[in-house]
Structure 1
Amino acid sequence: MAATEVAQSRRIVTGIPGPKSLAIQERRRSAVAQGVGSVLPVYVERAGGGIVEDVDGNALIDFGSGIAVANVGNADPRVVERAAEQLGRFTHTCFMVNPYEAYVDVCEALNRITPGDHEKRSVLLNSGAEAVENAVKVARSATGRQAVVVFDHAYHGRTNLTMGLTAKNMPYKQGFGPFAGEIHRMPMAYPYRWPTGPDRCGPEAAAMVADQITKQIGASNVAAVVIEPIQGEGGLIEPGAGFLPALAEFCRSNGIVFVADEVQTGFARTGHMFACEHEGVVPDLVATAKGIAGGLPLAAVTGRAELMDAVHGGGLGGTYGGNPAACAAALATLEAIGSDGLVERAREIGDLMLGRLRELAARYEVVGDVRGRGAMVAIELVRDGDRTPDPEALAKVLSYCHSRGLVLLSAGTYGNVIRMLPPLVIGDELLHEGLDLLEEAFAQL
């Protein structure tokens, strides 16, 4: 049975993790650096649809998608076929040495599908952090300015620059400094925790950010404002309505490059191809990765031609950036998203999940907030209805669900958000079964 034929049903035949996974985990202790963590140490044998099968024969429902990577599934046959065909012809030449057409094909596709009808250029890279870092490089080169503005609760990567852009100290920054300079952090429009309430969050936060940039940095010194249209690791925070359009307009008025970090939100995840489209925001630069290539390492920066072309020759690139097999996989991924209607499917998943989760919130006071767009959904857990974060309750819920075969992720600055990112090809039956397990976990609390 091929990976694409994995039976779409949960199956638990051993404890989670099982004996074979435990044996591999023991080998790992003496082979893999201890700083590398795993949410759930069950070792995967194969995966497909909404199921991950481990080496012990357990089949788990996947509400993680490898952190929003497997949008089209873990082994879409078109992705597998196109990548395998490319591997049979050549694995690598380095586009900066001997270029190849697939790289150009992917750039043309990104230029076409990212928001805005202006002339665009793209560069292909390896990871989300690398994409964000190169977006900053482009902005600084094009504007001649240095300052970069980011936000509370942001996550942008693990390189030195992107650690500086990231808000959360543990585990991402602790002990790894000093970080790059000229990074300035602003308040995030966090509706659930905004002091005057969610309805006033967007306009008030936008005014506050504009004021602080003007007074504390000087708008004429800012090269770029970098923001996730929905913050992922920060707790799936969707900014208050109007915040992103106001921020983009402030940038336009002051010659600041508006960079959308769509690494986690891109490629149909939120019910649009890109999350910026929900409020009609057109970024100057878009950083993408994760769901771009069906599980193969690929990332990109796409943006206004005059900005991208402002960088001197040789200033952008990298040995593996735009690997030919990854490019082939990306083209197949875009084909799958379009032909399988996965943008619309993401909306259906969101409607189903948010409906069930709001019913859950009505029954359990520990559920302080339910939020999300498309197949990017979260619940925030609090104590006694007073919005005090409750990471202990989250740990209990995740432990229960993991032990019964549901892959869930945690998130949030306070460690109290359950993050759900199912593959866009998951079936309704598995979605309901996973949510049933989640309800059981809250009943246990």
Structure 2
Amino acid sequence: MARRAARLVPSYSFAEEEFFAADGAPDAIVQQRRAGFEQLAAIYRERFAKTAAYTAEIADGIPDIRFTSTYRVPFQFSPIVRENLSAGSFYQASSGVMLTDLDGNEFYDLTGSYGVNLLGVDAYRETIAEGAETAADLGPTLAGLHPVVADNVRRLQAISGLDAVSFHMSGTEAVMQAVRLARYHTGRTHLVRFAGAYHGWWDDVQPGVGNPLPAERTYTLADMSEKTLKVLASRKDIACVLVNPLQALHPNANAPGDSTLMGAREKPLAERQAYADWLARLAQTCRANGIVLIMDEVFTGFRLAARGACEYFGGIEPDMITYGKTLGGGLPVGVLCGKADLMKRFREDRPADICFARGTFNSHPYVMGAMDAFLRRMESDQGRVLYDGLDENWNARAAALNERLKAAGLPLRVANLGTIWTVHYLQPGRYHWMLQYYLRAEGLALSWVGTGRFIFSLAYGEAEFAKVADRFMAAAQAMDDDGWWWLPEGDARKVLRKRVVSEMLHHALR
């Protein structure tokens, strides 16, 4: 249905007059916005010229740049934004919690390297260097395994509570192998994913927009739903259920991004105990019906607790766990841990019946060395102390920022799952996506999804976070002062929805 709906959305973009009045704002607000936009554009031209020019020069050769630069904002606004507010996609240095672009501008890093950067870039420099030293004698030889692999396996067995481990090149590959093994051992065809959950970009786990093929062996069910438990108990073709614990931040919704933001973003965070109770009931239902429960900890592993979301949400014991991101010590990796009977890739009574999975760079010596350095660090007193009061500390930081936003009368709040944050907008509006550009002007670096996700590293101390909070407040206040959060009279949500539908119908018919 999502793919069908996407094909019906017409392509159109706003001219300058429409750009500033897409919500029907009066002329005084339009002029206020225009002045603010021109001032912001001047800042971008002055500060980010070299980085933007370098990005433009190579953009045609890197399709990902074209995609991310185009889809940072709703498509109607994209051409004017790209022309005037391009900050580029390149950085030349990082240190502590800071990034430096090609113009020499320094930013507080809120990208978190898409989840990789848990400990901070300086710590990962150290683990990569230690890993390279560990593997130096064998070097980039892939003829067999470096002995450090065995140490990594023993540690991961202890962390996951599972019997066997396989190494892969990405989190996507680890999830693919988990699903393949579940289907192989159960003899069933279908997987279950929950609405909005991300498990990589391969076909079966991305059945909507972005995948040109129908995912015919995938059921997308509702998270935290009694009906879902009934479906799991009644169908006999379900091999496995995939859980991404990050969905507790926005149950049954896609990962938030500014490109699709044309209203309020106010999805409530699931209460921790309620989500833990749901996972416990889900695990019980899966066990009772022979369904393999796969906990996808590629993002949340090691970030929420020492044993990841399985520990954080009350000691969940899945049949398989996937890891990635931070576990590689700064290098690319995917890991699958599972029960012995599920991890076996052949049948002794039917020798030709195998479940194949290989990859040239699986268990690469340098990656295994960096992983060893990361795991040893997390086992040390230095690593264990990172989790002391972790949740309470980051919850308190979010609460303090929300108090400041409330006191200033600004229509936004933050929600968090530990160090993973998202911005909620308390009122509808067509310009919330503008906040990402004000934030960058204040020296805060975001990933291409904008205000949908901030990812902090544990290198942020109180002083660094205080500066981020001050800059966030300054950006939000500037955006408010420039008139972007003006509201039409009456039910603003209905008024704005009607305008968007009218625009689309007009352009579709034309």
Whether TM exceeds 0.5 here: the answer is: yes
Who is 1:31 aligned against?
61
Who is 2:146 aligned against?
100
- Of residues 433, 440, 443, the one that matches 2:474 is 440
1:45 alignment partner AA? Q
Larger gyration radius, structure 1 or structure 2 = 2
1:402 alignment partner AA? R
Separation in 1, partners of 2:237, 2:446: 42
2:336 alignment partner AA? V
Count of equivalent residues: 389
Matched, 1:373 2:417: yes
Matched, 1:320 2:336: no
Change (3 A) 1:137 1:314: closer
Who is 1:288 aligned against?
323
Deviation of 1:370 (Å): 4.2
Change (3 A) 1:209 1:155: same
Conserved 8 A contact 1:126-1:298: yes
Q: Secondary structure at the match of 2:366?
A: helix
- Of residues 352, 356, 364, the one that matches 2:400 is 356
Who is 1:8 aligned against?
none
Deviation of 1:86 (Å): 4.5
With structure 2 as the length reference, what TM-score do the two structures score? 0.70
Matched, 1:225 2:241: yes
Larger deviation: 246-255 or 101-110?
A: 101-110
Conserved 8 A contact 1:288-1:299: yes
Query: Where do 1:294-313 residues align within 5 Å?
Result: 294-309=329-344, 311=346
Separation in 2, partners of 1:427, 1:439: 18
Deviation of 1:345 (Å): 6.7
Separation in 2, partners of 1:264, 1:336: 19
2:329 alignment partner AA? G
Query: Where do 1:195-234 residues align within 5 Å?
Result: 205=225, 207-214=226-233, 218=235, 220-231=236-247, 234=255
Separation in 2, partners of 1:32, 1:410: 15
- Of residues 425, 429, 437, the one that matches 1:399 is 437
2:316 alignment partner AA? V
- Of residues 8, 18, 24, the one that matches 2:48 is 18
Change (3 A) 1:323 1:238: farther
Conserved 8 A contact 1:123-1:316: no
1:225 alignment partner AA? V
Separation in 2, partners of 1:318, 1:26: 35
Query: Where do 1:128-147 residues align within 5 Å?
Result: 128-147=171-190
Matched, 1:66 2:82: no
Q: Secondary structure at the match of 2:373?
A: helix
Conserved 8 A contact 1:72-1:337: no
Separation in 2, partners of 1:419, 1:335: 29
Identity over the aligned pairs, expressed in percent? 24
Deviation of 1:142 (Å): 1.8
Conserved 8 A contact 1:346-1:424: no
2:286 alignment partner AA? C
Deviation of 1:73 (Å): 1.5
Change (3 A) 1:136 1:361: farther
Q: Secondary structure at the match of 2:290?
A: coil
1:210-252 superposed Cα distances (whole Å, 9 cap, x missing partner): 123345xx0x321100011122762495474321111111111
Who is 2:75 aligned against?
none
Deviation of 1:93 (Å): 2.9
Q: Secondary structure at the match of 1:230?
A: helix
Aligned-pair RMSD on alpha carbons? 2.8
With structure 1 as the length reference, what TM-score do the two structures score? 0.79
Who is 1:335 aligned against?
376
Deviation of 1:349 (Å): 4.6
Deviation of 1:59 (Å): 1.5
1:403 alignment partner AA? A
Change (3 A) 1:361 1:248: farther
Higher helix residue share: 2
